[in-house]
């Protein structure tokens, strides 16, 4: 019995050292993997759908693995957390030192991508000329679009969010996007800190919070594509994403009415990705205040439906569901007879999460993870996999990896 105890005592320090090594290398490995995936996304913007499929598969596997290991105990002490915080702060400074000079000047230029300049045009039509942008024949003049689909293609919440673009042409749009990017970063920090604070005080200390928040900022600002889409070409996806993250912060603080308003407004801005996050709240314990808030937030849709329901439905909903696939999607490399598998996969994934969560009370962490996994499946099987859609995923991936960054490798 003494021999066994002595052997166990001698092996315990080695086992702790091994666990510490695994936990330390976990974040580095995840960071390198994410960097490589984001570089592939940056390099293969248009086309190469199988490359994008592999990248999304890697992100899916990473998120799922980290979440499955969430109950593991971190064997990382304060000295390592301090070093990790300094490392993350240095990386963040290097990212800004590289990206700000490269993309900062574009802040004062008008958007060049269609989802940007059509939003700016729609804001001018509504707020300056008093016209319905969904009836305009001059916003989207692409010849492949039928006349009934040449109005504004996003929800009216987008026009409200970019109202400044109507009064300050050129600079108003990009400055507004920069504000939304800052809101996204602040909301992400609040979510990470809130999730850590919800754990028992014996498990969490100040350095755990600081290091996790800094890690989330590194992961958010790491992809060059984020800077390119928001500051150079003028993608507007950062706005509905900022609303969703603010809504999750309100859920975390149990301010259900305001959470519903923000998520409903995000849906009225761009129904994807908001619709799939809202689906995560279709549970037995759903709050009435949340539903009321969603109805209030989505009210801009009702206003424009009353103004001209046909043009609104044609441009925001029917067009989106009747799009032909392009070369960015898996449709383009799949035989036509198998195309039915893609919407079927989307439906099955949505039903799975609805059934899985129906009787559960989900934490914010689990809600975000479920939302991320579902959104990856929806994106991979959609008719378009465009680079601006990646903006939806950057803060979600940053949140999950920052929280569970030491738990990639099993230690049991």
Classify the phi-psi angles of 130: left when phi > 0, otherwise alpha if psi is within -120 to 50, otherwise beta: left
Residues of the chain with pLDDT under 70: 1-12, 18, 46-47, 200-204, 412
pLDDT at residue 204, rounded to an integer? 67
pLDDT in tens, 76-101: 788 889 999 999 999 999 999 999 99
The reported pLDDT for the residue numbered 82 is 92
Give the model's pLDDT for residue 326: 87
- How does DSSP assign 272-301, residue by residue? HHHHHHHHTT-STT--HHHHHHHHHHTHHH
Cβ–Cβ under 8 Å, residues 117 and 140: no
Structure tokens at 23: 């936990």
Q: What was the pLDDT predicted at 3?
A: 46
**Position 374 in a domain:** yes
**What pLDDT shows up at residue 30?**
94
pLDDT tens-digit series, residues 91-142: 999 999 999 999 999 999 999 998 999 999 999 999 999 999 999 888 877 7
Whole domain around residue 28: which residue ranges? 18-404
**Number of helical H runs and strand E runs in the chain:** 18, 0
Is 3 within the bounds of a domain? no
Domain contains 175: yes
Determine the pLDDT at residue 367.
96
- The contacts found for 197-203 with CB under 8 angstroms, 24 or more apart, are 198/252, 198/363
Please report whether residue 412 resides in a domain.
no
Confidence (pLDDT) at 5: 46
Q: Which H/E stretch holds residue 320?
A: helix 319-321
181 lies in some domain: yes
For residue 74, the model assigns a pLDDT of: 76
User: What pLDDT score does 366 carry?
Assistant: 96
In 3D space, the residue among 314, 333, 334 whose CA is nearest the CA of residue 322 turns out to be 314
CA distance 17 to 178: 44
CA triplet 52, 57, 43: central angle to 5 degrees?
Answer: 25
In a domain, 275, yes or no: yes
CB 82 within 8 A of CB 207: yes
Residue 2 lies in a domain: no
Give the number of domains in the chain.
1
Look at residue 330 and tell me if it is in a domain: yes
Q: How far apart are CA 119 and CA 153, in angstroms?
A: 9
For residue 223, what are its two tokens? 């992809």
State the pLDDT at residue 43. Answer: 85
């Amino acid at each position: 019995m003494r021999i066994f105890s002595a052997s166990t005592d001698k092996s315990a320090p080695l086992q702790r050292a091994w666990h510490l090594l695994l936990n330390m290398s976990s974040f580095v490995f995840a960071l390198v993997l994410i960097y490589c995936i984001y570089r592939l996304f940056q390099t293969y913007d248009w086309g190469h759908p199988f490359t994008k499929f592999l990248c999304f598969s890697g992100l899916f596997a990473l998120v799922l693995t980290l979440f499955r290991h969430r109950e593991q105990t971190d064997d990382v002490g304060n000295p390592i957390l301090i070093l990790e915080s300094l490392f993350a702060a240095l990386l963040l400074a290097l990212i800004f030192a590289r990206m700000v000079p490269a993309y900062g000047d574009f802040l004062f230029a008008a958007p060049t991508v269609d989802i940007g300049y059509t939003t700016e045009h729609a804001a001018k039509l509504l707020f300056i000329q008093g016209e319905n942008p969904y009836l305009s024949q001059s916003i989207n003049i692409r010849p492949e679009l039928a006349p009934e689909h040449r109005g504004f293609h996003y929800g009216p919440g987008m026009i409200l969010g970019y109202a400044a673009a109507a009064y300050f042409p050129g600079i108003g749009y990009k400055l507004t996007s920069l504000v939304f990017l800052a809101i996204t970063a602040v909301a992400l920090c609040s979510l990470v800190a809130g999730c850590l604070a919800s754990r028992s005080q014996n498990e969490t200390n100040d350095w755990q919070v600081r290091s996790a928040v800094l890690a989330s900022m590194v992961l958010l600002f790491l992809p060059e594509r984020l800077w390119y889409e928001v500051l150079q070409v003028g993608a507007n996806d950062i706005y509905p994403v900022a609303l969703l993250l603010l809504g999750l912060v309100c859920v975390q603080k149990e301010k259900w009415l305001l959470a519903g308003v923000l998520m409903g407004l995000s849906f009225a801005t761009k129904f994807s990705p908001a619709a799939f996050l809202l689906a995560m709240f279709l549970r037995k314990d759903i709050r009435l205040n949340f539903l009321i808030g969603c109805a209030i937030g989505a009210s801009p849709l009702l206003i424009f439906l009353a103004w001209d329901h046909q043009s609104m439905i044609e441009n925001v909903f029917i067009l989106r569901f009747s799009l032909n696939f392009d070369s960015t999607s898996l449709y383009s490399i799949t035989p036509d007879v198998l195309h039915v598998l893609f919407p079927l996969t989307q439906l099955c994934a949505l039903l799975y999460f609805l059934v899985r969560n129906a009787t559960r009370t989900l934490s914010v962490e689990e809600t975000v993870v479920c939302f991320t996994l579902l959104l990856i499946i929806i994106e991979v099987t959609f008719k378009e996999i465009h680079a601006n859609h990646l903006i939806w995923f950057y803060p979600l991936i940053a949140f999950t990896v920052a929280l569970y960054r030491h738990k990639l490798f099993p230690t049991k």
